[in-house]
Structure formats: structure tokens, C-alpha cells
Chains A and B, each alone.
Chain A
Amino acid sequence: MATRPLTGPDTNFRPNHRRRALMDPLFRWICFGATSVSVLFLATVIGAVLLRVLIPAGGEPGQAVSPAARVTAAFALISRLVTNKTGLDAAESGYRVGLISSAWLLFFVVAISVPVGVGAAVYLEEYCGKSRWKSFVQMNIANLAGVPSIVYGLLGLILFQRGLGFEWLALGPCLLAGALTLSLLILPVIVIATQEALRAVPKSLRLAALALGATRWQMIRDHLLPAASPGILTGTILGVSRAIGETAPLLMVGAAASLLKVPRGPFDRYTALPVEIYYNAKEPAEAYSTVAAGGILILLCLLLSMNFLAILIRQRASRGHGSAAIPTRRGGSMR
């Protein structure tokens, strides 16, 4: 073999063939194992909650229940949770007020954070140039994205609920205060996602619109935002789904533990689905554990389908759907 002379007594090269041949696949399997463990965790989360709903606590052990009966019972449980309000009895309690509150919150958070977030991103990408001011704002947004959600709760408590101590500014523990707090919380997510989407739009699109006499805002409104819309939509859905799953800041901004009155407007008392789940999960009584599991199942269905939708939109856009909407210059025609 040609490699023989390399391993003579006068060189210190040791091929270690056997060890290397062992380590290589071993490492591959370790890494693969780590990835599948994380996938397994997702399955465990969903599986554990699902099992809890199918096999409620407090049932007599040893009594055989047919799987079909279990599934029917689980569906009955979920539909009860959706229609009933919070009650003192775990067997009667439900999430109706929380679900409607969360829907209100969703509406206001989208209405507030999307225009502001997209607007700030457009300003940074299209109006700012490469200035020191831009990098300052940029760094500020990156740091805001890392602020713990409970700190936003403290901000919302003082700024919105108590109006910085001014009577006429204080909103009190109302739905709008919660929605404003959540909007501030997800603003950085939306700004960063929108900026990335805008950066991915080719420069030629902007130049073409401007060359035809469009003003800057006309170019942005009619060409840039439509071309970047899949990316913006993805970022918005991810951000909003985070807001819907948040509990901690709402606890600070006066979300009620148990509310019997459905909120009818932005100035009513409110609660949220995750907040109600929290108070059920906290109860030591076993029966509440099943109620919490059912609530989590509803929440996970909502959030995971939102996340899934976001991923779907992005994958479709990256698979050439987006570039088909943006005419690319073909080689040769300009020569």
C-alpha cells in the first residue's frame, strides 16, 4: 500500500484507524439521538396531556372502560369545557370566559402590534439608510426581544393599568391594558420578522417602481409590502401565537382568576385561556388536573395549528411561490 511508509518508526503519525472508524458512526448516532429526543419531547408533551384527558383522574381504577367510551367521554369533556364558565365544582367548570377573552385579546393585539411593528420595520429598512440612528434602534429592538415577559407585565401594570399614577390615564385591570401589554411584548418579534422579509425582496423591484415615477410610499404600499407579505404573515402569526400563550404578564396586568361575566368591550374586566388553565393547574385537587389538561389540549390545538400555518406559508413562499410573484430578470434580454 502506498500509505505504508508514513507509519514508519521515524514518524509520529498514528492513523488510529479502528478508533476513528468507531467514533465516526457513534458520533453520528449521538447527534441523531439528540435530535430525535427533542422530537420525542414534543410527542411526550402532547401524549401526556392527551392521556390525561382520555383517562381522567378520580375514576375507579381496575374498572375496564372500552376505548370507544373513553373517546366519547373525552369529546364530551372538551365540549363541556368550551361551553361552560368557571365554576366552583371541577365537574362543571369550563373555559368559556377565557376563550372569549383570548379572542378579544387576539383581535386587539393584531390591531395594535401589526401596523406598528410593520411600520417600524418599513421605516428601518426603507427610510433610515445605514445610519448610527438605525443601528441604535436595531440594537434596542434586539434587546427588547430578550426582555423576560414578566418584566413587560411590570411595565403594563404601572403604565397601562395605573397610568403612571395619573388618574385620567389609568385604564384599570381591563382588557385593553392586557392587550397593550401583549402588543409591546410581541412588537420586537414582528419588527424583526418583517425586516427579514423586506430584505429578501430584490432591489430591482424597488428601483423599477421608483423609475416609473412612483413615490417612495407608493412603491412600498403597492409593490414592496405585497411582495414581502408571506414573510410578514409568518412573523405575525408566530408573534401573535406567542401572545396568546402568554400567562405571566397578564397575571400582572389584572387578568382575573375566575370571571363569570364575558367581556363585551375593551374596558371590561378580562381573563385569558392560559390564565384560567394556570389557576386550575395550581389546584391540588385531582379533578382540576383533568380540567387543566382539557384546557391545555384546546390551547395546544389553537397554537400548534397557528404555528403550523406559519411554517406552511413560509415553506410555500420559499419554494418559488414568492419569486414567481416577483419577475426575475432573465439573462440575455438586456444585452
Chain B
Amino acid sequence: MNRPGDPAESRWKSPGRLVRWQEWFVHGMLASFAVLTILTTLGILVVLGSETVRFFRTGEVTPLEFLTGTAMRPEADPPRYGVLPLVWGTLVITVGSSLIALPIGLAAAIYLSEYANFRTRSILKPILELLAGVPTIVYGYLALLLVTPLLRYSLGLVGIKVDTYNAASAAIVVGIMIIPMVSSLSEDVLRAVPQGLREAAYGLGATKFEVSTQVVVPAGLSGIMASFILAFSRAIGETMAVVLAAGQMPQISPNVFASVQTMTAYIVSVTSGDAPYGSPEHLSLFAVGTVLFLMTLSLNLISGAILRRYREEYS
């Protein structure tokens, strides 16, 4: 046997210069990948910013007119570029879908976190995840195939006229689409509420209903709010379902059964139209995109800030 530790006899080789060089190389490469994510954000900011500036430089519209204009008719003469009808359309659909998704999503989260046993949970959670995996184009088609005809038929019985393209059916399918998001985010929040709070309430004789609604949900309220805001922001950025279901009619109208155009739908309609690249109409989609980006970004930042504060509270 060799004597242990004798350098001459040992087959161990010191990691030479090559290994050290490799370490540096890998470190640098991985760091550059991380920097790439920063560059993506920077790219979005630069692209949206510079093209928006180009749009306003064409002299068709001033930023103030753009933000407060109530008509969006790029093909009219003179063309009108006002973002408010698009913002209105977006808000109608977002608020409508939230009215559907937030209560159902929260109730589902409470069920999964407070009521369901391990077996039920392990079946229901994957199904909800599958629902989240359905692409948005499918929801748009569902609106055309099922939701709109159903609405037209049932509301036709009571004499309400429903257009082929309408905000209501878009809101319904977008609502269905964001349920899994609300329920899975809220469930994480509810499960993070310390067990001790529940036990204390049970010890005082509270029923499960009282524990859920008066202890667990209030304790997780800020986190639930964060998940609501995130779902809201997702609904704002939703494109294909809205394009197919709500149509392309930019108007400010209180009638939810009429067609509206959202910001995302406007971007798609200009892209598939024949406005040449660099024309004011084509550049206007970057201005609309900037408004869309800023709206979702601010909502995401608010939600992130709430979640961070919430985590500090309980862990």
C-alpha cells in the first residue's frame, strides 16, 4: 500500500490553470445570461420610448391630446388619435372579468387551503393548473362558439340586444381564464397563515366558517389583494380572447353588450391592417403599447410591494 499523503505516490493532480480558466469562463457566461434579463427590460423601455417619441414627432397629435382624446380613428381625415376609448374598453373587460374571477378564485382558494383533504387537493390542484395551461386563443374561440350565442339567446328572451362582438362575453372568458391564477396565488397566501392563529380561534369555539372568514382571510388579506392586482394586470394585458370576442369598435359606451376595442386589440388590428411601417398609424401602436406597459408595470410593482411586506409580517 502507498503511504497516504505522499505526493509522489498519489494519483491526485492539482487543478491546473485550465480548470481555473474554466471557472472564470463559466462565471462570466452565467453572469451575462443574468444581465440579458436586464437588457430585455431595457430593450422594452428603449423600443417603446423611442417609437413613442417618433409617433409624437410626426405632429399628428400632442401627448396631451393623445391621453385625453375620446376618439380613435386613425383612418379618418384628419386622423384622430385618442387613447381613452381603448382604455375604456380595457377597463370594462378587466372589471367585468374580475367580478367573475375574484369571488370564484378566492372561494376555490379557501376550499383548497381550509377544507380539502390531501387526496382531494392532489386531484383538484393539477386540474386547475391544466385550466391555466389552456392557450388564450382557445378562450377566444369559446366565446364565439358558446358564450356569445348563449348570451344572445338568453338575453334575447328578455329583450336585450346583444351584438355578435361584445364586451360581456369577452369579460366572461377572460374571467374564466384568470380564475386559476387567483386561486393558486391566494391559496399560497392562505396556507402561509400560521396554524397557531387557526388553533387559537378553534379553541375559542369558532366554527370553520368563522375561522376562514374572520381569521384566515383577514390575516392573508394583503397577500390576497396582491394576487387580485396581479390577476387584474393579467386581464389588462390579455389579447387573443379579447380580439376574437370583443371586436374592433373603439367607443366609450356604457352598454356592455356592444363591441369595444381594448388596447391590445388595437395593437393587433393595426398590425394586421395595411398601415406601412413608420406611418403615424403604425407608430401609434407603440404609444398605445407604452400606456399598456405602464399600466401593467405599475400594478405589478404595487402587488410585489404588498407581497414583500406581507412576507415580512409572517416569516
CB distance from B127 to the nearest CB of A (A): 5
By a CB distance below 8 angstroms, the chain A residues around B240 are: 247-248, 274, 278
By a CB distance below 8 angstroms, the chain A residues around B140 are: 278, 281
| Nearest chain A residue, comparing its CB with the CB of B27 | A127
Are B137 and A274 closer than 8 Å at their CB atoms? yes
By a CB distance below 8 angstroms, the chain A residues around B129 are: 307, 311
Knowing A32-B111, A151-B44, A241-B133, say if A144 contacts B37 (CB, 8 Å).
yes
Could you tell me the distance between the alpha carbons of A150 and B267 in the complex, rounded to whole angstroms?
8
The bracket for how many chain B residues form the interface is 35 or more
Chain B residues 51 to 75 lying within 8 A of chain A, measured CB to CB, are 51
CB distance from B291 to the nearest CB of A (A): 11
CB distance from A219 to the nearest CB of B (A): 11
Query: Contact check: which of B23, B142, B237, B272 meets A148 at CB < 8 Å?
Result: B237
Knowing A42-B127, A146-B233, A281-B244, say if A296 contacts B133 (CB, 8 Å).
no
Could you tell me the distance between the alpha carbons of A304 and B239 in the complex, rounded to whole angstroms?
21
Query: Contact check: which of B27, B104, B293 meets A147 at CB < 8 Å?
Result: B293
Q: Is B279 an interface residue (CB 8 A)?
A: no
Q: Is A69 an interface residue (CB 8 A)?
A: no
Are A149 and B237 closer than 8 Å at their CB atoms? yes
By a CB distance below 8 angstroms, the chain A residues around B139 are: 45
Are B304 and A139 closer than 8 Å at their CB atoms? yes
Query: Contact check: which of A34, A117, A148 meets B293 at CB < 8 Å?
Result: A148
Are A28 and B208 closer than 8 Å at their CB atoms? yes
| Nearest chain B residue, comparing its CB with the CB of A218 | B19
CB distance from A124 to the nearest CB of B (A): 6
Are B44 and A42 closer than 8 Å at their CB atoms? no
Are B208 and A151 closer than 8 Å at their CB atoms? no
Knowing A24-B207, A150-B237, say if A187 contacts B37 (CB, 8 Å).
yes
The bracket for how many chain A residues form the interface is 35 or more
CB distance from A194 to the nearest CB of B (A): 11
By a CB distance below 8 angstroms, the chain A residues around B277 are: 162
Stretch from B79-87, B193-201, B253-261, B295-303 forming part of the interface with A: B295-303
Query: Contact check: which of A52, A148, A315 meets B296 at CB < 8 Å?
Result: A148
Could you tell me the distance between the alpha carbons of A28 and B110 in the complex, rounded to whole angstroms?
9
By a CB distance below 8 angstroms, the chain B residues around A246 are: 135
Chain A residues 2 to 55 lying within 8 A of chain B, measured CB to CB, are 20, 23-24, 26-28, 30-35, 37-39, 41-42, 44-45, 48-49, 52
Question: Which of B34, B140, B213, B230 is the most central at the interface, judged by chain A CB atoms within 10 Å of its CB?
Answer: B34
| Nearest chain B residue, comparing its CB with the CB of A281 | B141
Could you tell me the distance between the alpha carbons of A48 and B150 in the complex, rounded to whole angstroms?
13
Query: Contact check: which of A38, A142, A144, A307 meets B40 at CB < 8 Å?
Result: A144
Q: Is B209 an interface residue (CB 8 A)?
A: yes
Q: Is B157 an interface residue (CB 8 A)?
A: no
Are B271 and A251 closer than 8 Å at their CB atoms? yes
Query: Contact check: which of B33, B107, B138 meets A116 at CB < 8 Å?
Result: B33
Could you tell me the distance between the alpha carbons of A50 and B129 in the complex, rounded to whole angstroms?
21
Q: Is A86 an interface residue (CB 8 A)?
A: no
Could you tell me the distance between the alpha carbons of A303 and B133 in the complex, rounded to whole angstroms?
7
Q: Is A277 an interface residue (CB 8 A)?
A: yes
Instruction: Give a binary string over A119-136; 1 marks a CB under 8 Å from any B CB, 0 the rest.
Output: 110111001100000000
Are A45 and B134 closer than 8 Å at their CB atoms? yes
By a CB distance below 8 angstroms, the chain A residues around B104 are: 34, 37-38
By a CB distance below 8 angstroms, the chain B residues around A148 are: 236-239, 264, 292-293, 296
Knowing A39-B124, A148-B296, say if A307 contacts B244 (CB, 8 Å).
no
Could you tell me the distance between the alpha carbons of A26 and B236 in the complex, rounded to whole angstroms?
34
Q: Is A70 an interface residue (CB 8 A)?
A: no
Q: Is B306 an interface residue (CB 8 A)?
A: no
Are A143 and B297 closer than 8 Å at their CB atoms? yes
CB distance from B303 to the nearest CB of A (A): 8
Are A151 and B37 closer than 8 Å at their CB atoms? no
By a CB distance below 8 angstroms, the chain A residues around B180 are: 38
Q: Closest 4 A-B residue pairs measured CB to CB? A: A148-B237, A245-B135, A34-B107, A31-B111
Could you tell me which A residues sit within 8 Å of B by CB distance?
20, 23-24, 26-28, 30-35, 37-39, 41-42, 44-45, 48-49, 52, 115-117, 119-120, 122-124, 127-128, 137, 139-144, 146-155, 158-159, 162, 184, 187-188, 191, 213, 215-217, 238, 241-242, 244-248, 251-252, 257, 274, 277-278, 281-282, 289, 292-293, 296, 299-300, 303-304, 306-308, 311, 315
Could you tell me which B residues sit within 8 Å of A by CB distance?
15, 19, 22-23, 26-27, 29-31, 33-34, 36-38, 40-41, 43-44, 47-48, 51, 103-108, 110-112, 114-116, 122, 124, 126-131, 133-142, 144-146, 176, 179-180, 183, 207-210, 212-213, 230, 233-234, 236-240, 244, 264, 267-268, 271-272, 277, 285-286, 289, 292-293, 296-297, 299-301, 304
A-B CB contact pairs (8 Å), 28 listed? A35-B116, A38-B104, A39-B124, A123-B30, A137-B38, A139-B304, A144-B41, A149-B237, A154-B48, A154-B51, A154-B285, A154-B289, A155-B43, A159-B47, A162-B277, A184-B40, A187-B37, A245-B134, A247-B136, A248-B136, A252-B271, A281-B140, A281-B144, A282-B244, A289-B145, A292-B141, A304-B134, A311-B129
